[in-house]
Amino acid sequence: MALLLALLLGGPMGLRTQGPLRELFLDITALDARPLERPELDVRWSFANTWNEPMQLFRGSQLAMQFLDEQADSISLRLRVPWNRRIWSAVEWKLTEHWGGWSDRPIDAWHSLIGAFNYQRSQWPRNEVHLHYYDDGGSAFRIDHATLAVGDLTLRTQATVLERSTLALAARLDVKLPVGSLSAAGGSGGFDAGAGLCATWTPSSWAALHGLFAVSRFSHLSAPTLLQPAPWHFTAEISFEAQIGETTLLLESRVLSQLLAKGWDRTPQGGDDALLSSGFYADFKAHNQVSIGVRRGAFLVWMSEDFTPGPNPHSTLKFLWVSNAPDLVMGLAYTTSL
């Protein structure tokens, strides 16, 4: 039984941080640091509801506009193949439908039920799609109708560099190739690359702890916009999985550094409620994604919310901020050895 439980500890969920801007760039995801024994296919569907009301940014006399309102449903595929017992490579690709969706009203109802701030959603029509990113330099995308977006291609390679009875360490190298279209919010249009260190500790047959720290270099958007990503990015993640019978429970926290380059500020309008409802935090603050999941056999279901610790004098919760890009993520994955 102990051996069976150990085999059922399948590693972290491998979740990317979703959202219409974050998903344009390379996202180094956490995976088990232990060797991969056989080729593996992972197929997953997820939806992400994003709500940020229109926002104007300025840098000196330069102006930029953003409006991020959508439900994004995506199908992603990942094939991992071992070269030998310690080294594997993977190819990963996704297809995303940007549309109005169905999730605005259930989220409104949930916020009303628990008495939470609704981020001024009621002032705007429900279940519409508006993805605007443009400034005085040019336009990245202006989407106001359902749009199918081909995503960029990501290549990942991982090598286990240390393997003990309960501890494994692995080095990662990931590269993103610009296959997707920026105008459809499918990809940044540029090459990104990153390297990281993964760790897996299994103190018992029913529990495992996984960690990731990574550094990435992002290229500019292929559009001549003035508002561009910060060049260097950091990712840190910790994942805990616990085996109960034939079911695995997972809890993860995933932190990404600021997405866009410094130097821009939001044009003041509407007070604190409008600030909290804008995309300012999503653009210029770190992002902490908290996820819970349940794995049984080859299937995994999960839900993610963003709660980033830190002083926030503009919110009733003074000890954290949320970006609402995305507000809520849910997904289902099927993973099988080949």
Helices (H) and strands (E) in the chain, counts: 4, 18
Measure Cα distances from 303 to 112, 326, 328 in Å: 20, 12, 7
**Res 6: pLDDT:** 45
- Categorize the per-residue pLDDT at 54 as very low, low, confident or very high, splitting at 50, 70 and 90: very high
Residue 82, judged by CB atoms within 10 A of its CB (0-12, 13-18, 19+), counts as: middle
CB 280 within 8 A of CB 273: no
**Res 1: pLDDT:** 34
Report which secondary-structure segment, H or E, holds 54.
strand 40-59
Q: What is the 3-state secondary structure (H, E, C) of 159-217?
A: EEEEECCCEEEEEEEEEEECCCCCCCCCCCCCCEEEEEEEEEEEEECCEEEEEEEEEEE
Tens-place pLDDT, residues 145-158: 999 999 999 999 99
**Res 2: pLDDT:** 36
**Res 319: pLDDT:** 87
Length of the chain: 338
Q: What Rg value do the Cα atoms of the chain yield, rounded?
A: 20
Report which secondary-structure segment, H or E, holds 122.
none
pTM above threshold 0.85: yes
The single-letter DSSP state of residue 31 is -
Tens-place pLDDT, residues 286-299: 999 999 999 999 99
CB 131 within 8 A of CB 194: no
- Categorize the per-residue pLDDT at 65 as very low, low, confident or very high, splitting at 50, 70 and 90: very high
**Most confident residue range from 76-90, 110-124, 263-277:** 76-90
- Categorize the per-residue pLDDT at 117 as very low, low, confident or very high, splitting at 50, 70 and 90: confident
The residue to which tokens 């299937």 are assigned: 299
pLDDT greater than 80 at residue 4: no
pLDDT greater than 70 at residue 7: no
Q: Residue range 196-213: average pLDDT?
A: 96
In terms of Cα–Cα distance, which of 55, 150, 140, 46 is closest to 101?
A: 46
Q: Residue range 170-179: average pLDDT?
A: 98
Q: Residue range 215-238: average pLDDT?
A: 98
- Categorize the per-residue pLDDT at 8 as very low, low, confident or very high, splitting at 50, 70 and 90: low
* Sequence-distant (≥ 6) Cβ neighbours of residue 4 within 8 angstroms: none
The structural domains of the chain, ordered by start, are: 2-337 (2.40.160.40)
